[in-house]
Chain A
């Protein structure tokens, strides 16, 4: 614990919030980043879950304090509580559901209107494994669409069946999302929490874009501005891998 406390002191705290429609895989993206794991049939998030993960960037260590918000509509009004004071946001959509991009766009609008003006926003088109599989193999293997949260209203059995069938999977063209992201000034990645594709890159690029000097300056300014505060203490999450560099090379977050 002493080690954890000591290294926490040196790292730069970055509050990051995940937003997006229900069942697009927000919690799975976080779980992949934090624990390098993937869980099929993850239960829906209630309110928001809190996790931490470190990310090395050149000679600096960023410590992400991640608020993984619930996608269910009934929790929508709680979102400001989580994106307030956040330095970064990941807005997630599902590449196989066109409507989820619309929802992502509305989150981006809300963030740009109401969040910290320096917030770094990344758009992530998740579940790209479903699309890749369809392209790579024409066989209709019963691919588990396990990122879908079972209780979600948006993931109808019909959609799941369609996804599993490998037909017409991609509902959002990469170019279309990329064009939108560029126009709106967002980072953009297609990701797969299931295979890990794009996940580390996503968080690494965010780390690069975070105005670290700005955070450090505001921290020195006093404790009222929480970002970057030298929180000590052990990790709240037992399964958090404190050192991303100890993971497989593919997942190393050392840019």
Chain B
């Protein structure tokens, strides 16, 4: 049922002989896709630490610490369980990572966390994460990779890391727009690489078309699919298969605030800061990836963190010093500031509720979705007993009842109830609602919606929620299509106006300047496919958007595209 090997065997591999490096040619080939595979263990004195990297990579201590904490759930349960989540941590270009193509100044981690009882260990548990570290923001691909690799690693040890890296080194380069056939640990997949990071991928327009088969075809940049192929699931290991199939659908995640999706979409487009509370890193990361996908093909102009911990080095940027008063911090570099615009973060630590009470927009997810063991019976175990200077209320606040409505269960209540029902089969608690932070839903202090909701669509989605199963999966795809269409529709008037800025042939190599007044005249004349609640709202929406970073990013990219296409030279 669970892994066969103890920690000692895992560390030395099946019978030793592990080489921690690849030959230089293979290393370069592998690094087109990933930096390395990291093993993160729990150290009783310091908390999570990066124990091993295959192949070895020189990362600075700060980055390693960020990776280690981001690879472990904030709140642990006493149950044996597995969980897949992802994270995004900042790293400076160049430096230690010169062998990896740095794309956007961030490193992505795709983690598979395993916890199981092990009396041989001082802590009573084996807690370990296997993490793919990469510069490629391809959640769909790397969720498949990690869910295939990690169970095998826990069964066979380090030899699997070696094998996986050699497989990846043999993959063709991830050229934009190509479809790459990859062999990985006995499976073969066709992976469609997007044209660019901001180009949405759809089954219909992919090289797979109508032949798309989720068992073997992967659209690299889309959020992880709801269900993963059975072929990825390790036979005879229920705990592993659960992790592979637990990826929740966007529809089930958003069920408690479906009518607010239009407001949320607007906030994403307008680069508003959004804080997402989730009961587990896996739910948090999936939702954040969906949000990131909603705004394609608009260039990404906000920072998103699928799973953000209080230990992240960017924490002071998101939580002002005033909010951290009374919390023991020895080296707080925090400064008081409102939340940055354009930050979307997913958290699972209730500490953020008070620390980030000044954030304008908050989403709270319920754990009732997907109901994997991984997110039920949350019993808080202190992450560390001696986090000198890094407490920031982590353990304490996790154990303290939250301020939410009395209906909500705090982590603390929950831990008690799970202790008292220690022998209850997991199924009996799956229907219980648990959440972190405020009661499930969408909260905004400042946002008043501009566009119209689609009430018929909401009704359809609600019906799909009620039906569940395949209807829910289809509903999720419909949501994605719906908001992707809205992003495209929102850009249409801008693109229309932009073409009028192309100078006559031979009259210049640049676009004429974007003139706000002219744009609004064009908008009044031609209207918009996007339905706004009023024409005043429409104007207000665009005025506001044109003051965001997204506008600048879009204009620069659009101009580059037009100049690059050569129309100006004709």
Contacts and interface: CB of A to CB of B under 8 A. Distances in A.
Interface of A: 1, 5, 9, 15, 43, 45-52, 65, 67, 70, 72-78, 81-82, 84-85, 223-224, 226, 229-238
Contacts of B178: 1, 234
B162 interface: yes
A237 B183 CA distance: 10
Contact of A224 (B152, B179, B183, B215): B215
Contact of A49 (B16, B170, B179, B215): B170
A78 B188 contact: no
The 8 closest A-B pairs by CB, nearest first: A47-B163, A50-B183, A233-B190, A233-B179, A233-B181, A81-B186, A46-B166, A223-B215
A236 B15 contact: no
Most buried by A among B152, B164, B231: B231
A224 B191 contact: no
Most buried by B among A65, A234, A238: A234
Most buried by A among B16, B178, B185: B185
Given A74-B13, A74-B159, A81-B152, A9 B186 contact: no
Given A48-B186, A75-B163, A237 B170 contact: yes
Contacts, number: 117
A76 B16 CA distance: 13
B213 interface: yes
- Dominant SS at the B interface? mixed
B207 A232 contact: yes
B170 A1 contact: no
23 contacts: A46-B162, A46-B166, A47-B163, A47-B167, A48-B186, A50-B182, A51-B183, A52-B181, A74-B159, A75-B163, A78-B163, A81-B185, A223-B213, A223-B214, A226-B188, A226-B231, A230-B213, A231-B188, A231-B190, A234-B178, A234-B180, A234-B181, A237-B172
B565 interface: no
Given A65-B183, A74-B15, A231-B188, A47 B215 contact: no
Nearest to A52: B181
A5 B179 contact: yes
A48 B163 contact: yes
B410 to A, nearest CB: 42
Given A78-B163, A232-B217, A233-B190, 11 more contacts: A46-B163, A47-B162, A47-B166, A50-B188, A65-B183, A223-B213, A223-B215, A224-B231, A226-B216, A231-B189, A231-B216
B170 to A, nearest CB: 6
A72 B160 CA distance: 14
Interface string B168-184: 00111000001111111
B17 interface: yes
Contacts of B160: 47, 78
A75 B179 contact: no
Nearest to B192: A233
Interface in B184-229: 184-191, 207-208, 211, 213-217, 229
Nearest to A224: B230
Given A49-B166, A229-B215, A235 B186 contact: no
Contacts of B214: 223
B4 to A, nearest CB: 9
B558 interface: no
Contacts of B184: 50
A75 B215 contact: no
Nearest to B231: A226
A73 B15 CA distance: 8
Contact of A47 (B23, B164, B207, B216): B164
Contact of B183 (A75, A77, A236, A238): A236
A62 B367 CA distance: 47
A81 B207 CA distance: 28
B17 A50 contact: no
A84 B231 CA distance: 10
Contacts of A43: 23
Most buried by B among A9, A48, A226, A237: A226
B390 interface: no
A67 B215 contact: no
A85 B215 CA distance: 14
A134 to B, nearest CB: 34
Contacts of A226: 187-188, 215-216, 231
B356 to A, nearest CB: 44
A124 to B, nearest CB: 21
B215 A238 contact: no
A233 B192 CA distance: 8
Interface in B389-430: none
A75 B172 contact: no
Given A1-B179, A234-B179, A75 B170 contact: no
Interface in B505-551: none
A157 B16 CA distance: 23
